[in-house]
Amino acid sequence: MNQHLKRLHDLDGECRLLAHTADILNWDQETYMPEKAVEERSEQLALLQGLLHDRQTSAEIGDLLSALGSTQGTPAGDPGLPPVERDFLRALWRDYSKNTKLPRDLVTEFARETVVSQSVWQEARKRSDFALFKPHLARIVELSRQVGAAYGFADRPYDGLLDDYEPGNGQEKLDAVFGALRTDLVVLLGKISSRPRVRDDFLSRPFPIAGQDAFARRVAADIGYDFGRGRLDLTAHPFTTTLGSDDVRITTRYDERAMAGGLFSVIHEAGHGLYEQGFDPEIRGSLLADGTSMGIHESQSRFWENVIGRSLPFWSHYFPILKDAFPSQLADVGLEEFYRAINAVTPSLIRTESDEVTYGLHIILRYRLEKELIGGTLSVEDAPAAWNAAMRELLGVEVPDDASGILQDVHWAGGLFGYFPSYALGNLYGAQFYATMRRDLPALDSDVASGRFSPSLGWLRDRIHRFGRRCEPGEICERVTGGPLEARFFVDYLNAKYRDIYGF
């Protein structure tokens, strides 16, 4: 049995190395790759993904899983194995079962098309020209349908895609969660809209990018992101990628007239990085060293970005430092005024720059459209008009062009259909974790106000980060909070916070 396990770990380790090699090329494509290198890069990644698929679906892995008692009914294998090995087998059985359902040609074509599609998306976004991107989006939609159907969801392929990111959360469950969440958010938005507008004009003053970058790097390091095991670079759409146990990279984008956007993007991505840098050494280098789901992963980024990063205690510590870095821009601004400004609620066009209240409506919009695109009830041709209509309905905002509308996110160009719901689920998980954290750490506010983040990071490391994929998302939630995921924690958090800011 030990020999079988060792061989499985060796095979899995080879798959990790291949996957991380492909991720290096993906990272380079989004940061430093020359624009004319797209065609060969697409072939490089198609080749690597094909080789990886061959390794992941080898008959030897299936035979070893069977020898260790890992089956559909007992994916964790022999009950006599150590717990960490049973968790490894359970996760590997899930991956193997899904990967073996995908034809190799589909995997390589998907990899090839997403490289080209992302490159075209960047150009289309610059030109604000959806027509340029349309044929590539149509191809990605078709390939995504094929993936969902191959997983065994021929009638509802979108459920197959959702399962990649948040196991156990199909359309039926998400429809119920998002339906209730939309109602709560609209009610809260109505209360806020009845109050005087918060002053935030000073946030659009020119903040030199070099100063923004220096401040953002300081904050990321302070909250615990290890630059010795990662780096920060610029990209068109911020993301985090893991290229190895000690190589977790984050990216951002800066705008001289939108200082808050760049800063909170860095804090958000650093939250992802903290999760990836926090896995237990026991699972390093294996498939267990990954987020248990994208909803849990987003709970970490959204927690640091919003719950901590937009809190009054946080800025009690950092606002004097920020004023020292930008004295002329913030000379007439006080702490309380700045705090209200970075939390101002204003329905707007851009998801990544939206406030905590309207952000969920952006996700509900994307969830609705991609569900319809994959389900075949919305054509790619009609998608921009559907996007604009949904923005008008959900946020009361008129979309002036494609760049600030349907072309603003890279996810669909990258083939990430099914990912968007994770952002909203991350808000829910994060708020529920925070409620428990506050109970366990009564000095949390004073620690944050003093610039001490090790207690909160240590709490997350101990209860969430170190386990990686050893636990399912529902199990993590139950273990940490004592109950299943509930939207009420997030709704209560928002109401308490914005009642204080807007005085309703």
Per-residue pLDDT of the chain (504 residues; tens, 9 = 90+): 899 999 999 999 999 999 999 999 999 999 999 999 999 999 999 999 999 999 999 999 999 999 999 999 999 999 999 999 999 999 999 999 999 999 999 999 999 999 999 999 999 999 999 999 999 999 999 999 999 999 999 999 999 999 999 998 899 999 999 999 999 999 999 999 999 999 999 999 999 999 999 999 999 999 999 999 999 999 999 999 999 999 999 999 999 999 999 999 999 999 999 999 999 999 999 999 999 999 999 999 999 999 999 999 999 999 999 999 999 999 999 999 999 999 999 999 999 889 999 999 999 999 999 999 999 999 999 999 999 999 999 999 999 999 999 999 999 999 999 999 999 999 999 999 999 999 999 999 999 999 999 999 999 999 999 999 999 999 999 999 999 999 999 999 999 999 999 999
Q: Where in the chain is the domain with CATH 1.10.1370.30?
A: 171-502
Alpha-carbon gap, residue 281 to 296, rounded angstroms: 20
Burial code of 333-366, b = ≥16 C-beta within 10 A, e = fewer? Answer: beeeebbbbbbbbbbebebebbbbbbbbbbbbbb
- List active site positions: 269
Strand positions, DSSP E, 219-333: 232-234, 240-244, 247-252
Alpha-carbon gap, residue 478 to 39, rounded angstroms: 47
Q: Are strands 240-244 and 247-252 parallel, antiparallel or unpaired?
A: antiparallel
Alpha-carbon gap, residue 456 to 472, rounded angstroms: 22
Say which residues have a Cβ less than 8 Å from residue 235's Cβ, sequence separation at least 6. Answer: 30, 31, 251, 252, 253
Is the Cβ–Cβ distance between 432 and 476 less than 8 Å?
A: no
Write the Ramachandran bin of 345: left for phi over 0, alpha for psi from -120 to 50, otherwise beta: beta
Q: Where are the alpha helices (DSSP H) in 2-129?
A: 2-31, 38-56, 59-67, 83-99, 104-127
What is the Cα gyration radius of the chain? 23
The CATH number given to 171-502 is: 1.10.1370.30
Alpha-carbon gap, residue 401 to 381, rounded angstroms: 16
- Look-up of token digits 């899904």: 98
Alpha-carbon gap, residue 51 to 54, rounded angstroms: 5
